[in-house]
Structure 1
Amino acid sequence: MEFVTLSDGTRLRTWTTGTTTASPPVVLLHGGPGLWDYLEPVAAMLDDLTVVHRFDQRGCGGSDPSENQTMQRLQDDIEELREHWGHERIVVLGHSFGAKLALTYAAAYPQHVAKVGHFSGVGIGDWHTPYFEVRDQRMTAEQLERLESFRPGRTPAEETEFRALSWFTDHADRERAWQWALEDAAVPYPINWAANRALAGEVNSWPDDELAARVAGLTMPVWLVHGTGDPRPASAVQALAKHIPNHEFRLIEGAGHSLWRERPAELRQVLQEFLDS
């Protein structure tokens, strides 16, 4: 683990693993926004293929607090990390919110991006309606009522329950979904709700045609990977993919939002093909 100090004095907690090979290094971008790095299992799938970097985004996890929560600042953070690590070109691979961050970083700094991985992102169009339909189908009426009853100022036990109820519908495997959600909920870091509101509000305000125009200018390979069991509809990701000149779209059957949990072997194969392409 290493703390990297950025130009504005904010320190980001980072990890570097893997093996130096002919493949460019990979920078993993976690989701949220307002969460922490949870992509160590994905890094482990890449460690024998190339160098892998991970970090907690500013204001999140073990990184320093920061009120500067904009997509431009997060893109600049990645660029400063790239310079610190001494790489001319990198692969940016983002999960969930990190998938959109990977695309916008690539659009801002294309000369330093070899490939982009958009994993379990939301795409364009109305993805909210089908997402909430699937979420509500995977919950009982009692669970939904309980989730909606939580307010700020939760006890630690209530916070764990709130997170688990919020996240267990992301998993396609309904037998193991609750246990996985409890494992994720037990992470001892607070959710940065200020960052969540600021960043989600910013990206949700972008018209679809604005994002489509950004990705239309990407010339590097962009792989969009999605699980068929993710409540975020694959159709919205396919709609986004149509605007990307050099793209590959892959569906992983039976996988939910956390691809590495439900289909690890299939994800590992896709990652290897992604780096080899």
Structure 2
Amino acid sequence: MTLRAKKMAYWILGSVMLCLVAGGAAFWWMMQQPLYKHGQAAKLAEQDPVSMDGERFWVEPNMSLTYFARGEGKPILYVHGGPGTPPDISAAALDALGENYKTYYYDQRGTGGSTRPFDRFNAKDGTWGNVQKLEGTLGLAQQLADMERIRKLLGQDRIIVVGHSFGAFMAALYAAEFPQGVDKLVLLNPADLLEFPNSREGLYGAIEKRLPAEDQDAFKAWLAQYMDFGNVFSKSEAELQVLDARFLPFYEKAIGKIPQGVPSPPLDATGNWQVRGVFFSMGRRHDWRGLMGKITAPTLVVHGGRDFQPKEIAEEYVANIPGSTLIEIKDAAHFPQYTHPEQLAAQLDHFLNDK
């Protein structure tokens, strides 16, 4: 090879490496930023939903959401948490209101029996291309738009929204983006995600702190694999389900067994691509506390006194949502709608009926 040819080869190789480094840096920068922007869901929801029947909301021509309903009367939309873990049974606290309220429990897109558009992704589309495809289909904007589409399908000018955990976080974002569509808002043990990161230890920090010493290394290894978003698109959803299911034993060792009566969906019902979709929506850094000021609906925030999440998380929601009220059910942990139905139902009845 001539000197000129060698220089040309080195120049080409250097250019390729520079592009790879620049591309990696760009991807890292984009991962830092939240892909969800306030207003995206409203834009998506401008197109009217298709129809509903006794089992499904057809929110788009190729997207249906499985649901079931309990009770009679004024509609309540229940937003499940996880993310990605739809309930297969109703909440006893809401059942107690069944003479006057009909609660709709739906599987969010990408979970349970709802449309699950992805199994594997095409490596040819590149990591950023697959991030955009996933987040644009199963991310926060589409999830919030689905809530608005359901409101329209139910024929309600305004609807009562009850969200739990991550679902409470989504319900708050929905109420901020669609304030005119929310009658009343209930946030049960809302997730610590208004600002991220923050000074609190968070879910994974709380678990690591409480795990026995002999489980620490295994948990750290699992968490590193779970957070490896750069290689996530090499997996199928079934592989993600197996990976994600390894979290539960760590949770139960650190926090305690899931209480009896709390729904535990089967492995194949969890929406593992949905989890990654909303993670990409949030990015590695965001602060949405200011959005809470857009909420106009009367809001009740419920904290379980024995929850692994500190009360200051619920207090942060109350501090940022105008006119909101905080109550604490002292003996409850993270699932008061199932474990303390009478106490919660009494509080909900008081709040919903302005007593």
| Corresponding position of 1:37 | 87
Structure 1 residues 68-103: Cα deviation after superposition (integer angstroms, max 9, x where no partner)? 112111111111111112222111111011101111
> TM-score under structure 2 normalisation?
0.65
Question: 1:19, 1:51 within 8 Å by CA — same for their partners in 2?
Answer: yes
**What's the offset of the Cα at 1:10?**
0.6
Matches within 5 A, 1:34-73: 34-38=84-88, 40-42=90-92, 43-66=94-117, 67=134, 68-73=137-142
- Shift of the 183–114 alpha-carbon distance from structure 1 to 2, 3 Å rule, reads closer
Which residue of 342, 348, 355 maps to 1:271?
348
Question: 1:163, 1:181 within 8 Å by CA — same for their partners in 2?
Answer: no
| Corresponding position of 2:187 | 118
**What's the offset of the Cα at 1:220?**
1.2
| Corresponding position of 1:164 | 248
SS at match of 2:91: helix
State the identity %: 23
**What's the offset of the Cα at 1:48?**
2.4
Matches within 5 A, 1:143-222: 143-147=215-219, 162-168=246-252, 174=256, 177=257, 180=260, 184=264, 187-203=266-282, 205=284, 207-208=286-287, 211-222=288-299
SS at match of 2:138: coil
Q: Quick one: distance in 2 between partners of 1:199 and 1:122?
A: 13
SS at match of 1:31: coil
- Shift of the 228–89 alpha-carbon distance from structure 1 to 2, 3 Å rule, reads same
Q: Match for 1:45: what amino acid?
A: A
| Corresponding position of 1:232 | 309
**What's the offset of the Cα at 1:134?**
4.0
| Corresponding position of 2:78 | 28
Root-mean-square deviation (Å): 3.2
**What's the offset of the Cα at 1:114?**
0.4
Structure 1 residues 160-188: Cα deviation after superposition (integer angstroms, max 9, x where no partner)? 972531443686xx5xx25649972x624
- Shift of the 187–87 alpha-carbon distance from structure 1 to 2, 3 Å rule, reads same
Structure 1 residues 20-72: Cα deviation after superposition (integer angstroms, max 9, x where no partner)? 1xxx4210000122222356124423322311111000010011113411211
**What's the offset of the Cα at 1:141?**
3.0
Question: 1:36, 1:60 within 8 Å by CA — same for their partners in 2?
Answer: yes
> TM-score under structure 1 normalisation?
0.82
| Corresponding position of 2:121 | none
Question: 2:68, 2:105 within 8 Å by CA — same for their partners in 1?
Answer: yes
Which residue of 312, 336, 339 maps to 1:259?
336
| Corresponding position of 1:4 | 57
Residue 177 of structure 2 is aligned to residue 108 of structure 1: yes
Bigger helix share: 2
| Corresponding position of 2:164 | 95
Structure 1 residues 209-250: Cα deviation after superposition (integer angstroms, max 9, x where no partner)? xx2221112121011111122112220221221121120111
